[in-house]
Structure 1
């Protein structure tokens, strides 16, 4: 299939590339998870290979980003070995006008949140379909739960007015298991009018490890669009 035949793929490549171009030599880089960020990791590898970029190390947010970094020759480090992250690049499932996000479509939101919040600069890469007027309008909020707490957490979420659903595996019998060995409950809310408080409230439920609402952390949102069949990247 030619690239021209798939403008969406081309647009994701362009957004991923635009983010990779914001990384400077000598940086510690948070490597996000997902289809668009995968192109960022690929382009970081290409910039390293060409010598345009030097001395960067990546902090992966998932098994997927770790595998891609190794594949494209991006050296890796761990949070134990560093004291800061210069720039993190990650995708999102929803972005509102205040740059608040819902993440966790790939069930990697806990590790993503640790890395993205640590970064001095957090770049979000999305396509225009991810932009929403209000969080929760098209995407459920993923909540990572330790297995023994599944029932009490589910009940607590119902008390908050959420509609919880245990995320089940694809081509796997049973639930999705995160890189931390936990389960994910996808929660629909009629209206998330106060994402800052909802994020705290969900995390205060005993047995919840982390949820996919990201507030007050995104610095730059790069949005890819296909206009007249051509990929365009704009900045929010």
Structure 2
């Protein structure tokens, strides 16, 4: 089964971030396009004027002889090329007006539909919470497994220590008492360390479980918002 969250948003839930960045950079892209059209229009206009000037110079000169048809063809060609570039300049100017109007409309739409939309702000905050929850989850998981290894190792050591304790062979009372006291102290110390480690292991387990539950809750809310048709996505379809 194909999961929507895996195929569109990708690792790190960067889909929303990509769309947000595109919206923020949209005005910059429009301005760059405007500059390109303005410069292109200026070049076309300059070239058109130069062609018209050259054509005017040819009209002032009387050409006779064998090259007369050729000069006439050149004048006609210059006139057509100049007219073509003049039409291009007009087209650029009309396009620039449309782009300018679109730029104004885009900025207004961003301010009203993006920057002040409570639903989109909530989504952005949700994405931030989701990423933070994921980082917390990874840390809790790593800590849980690390403490778990120490706990299992201590459990095996404690079992070996308990199983290895045997009744000492008859010796004098002072030696027997000293050995018994040493064994008792060692066993007591190991037991206390094991209890502290066990408590720490249970705490890490609870933290890991809580992190998983919090992440799943945010993840479900995150996916539900986009499944239901978030207004941020509707912004691009207007």
TM class by shorter-chain length? under 0.3
Structure whose residues are more often helix by fraction: 2
TM-score for the superposition, normalised by structure 2:
0.18
Larger radius of gyration: 2
Higher strand share: 1
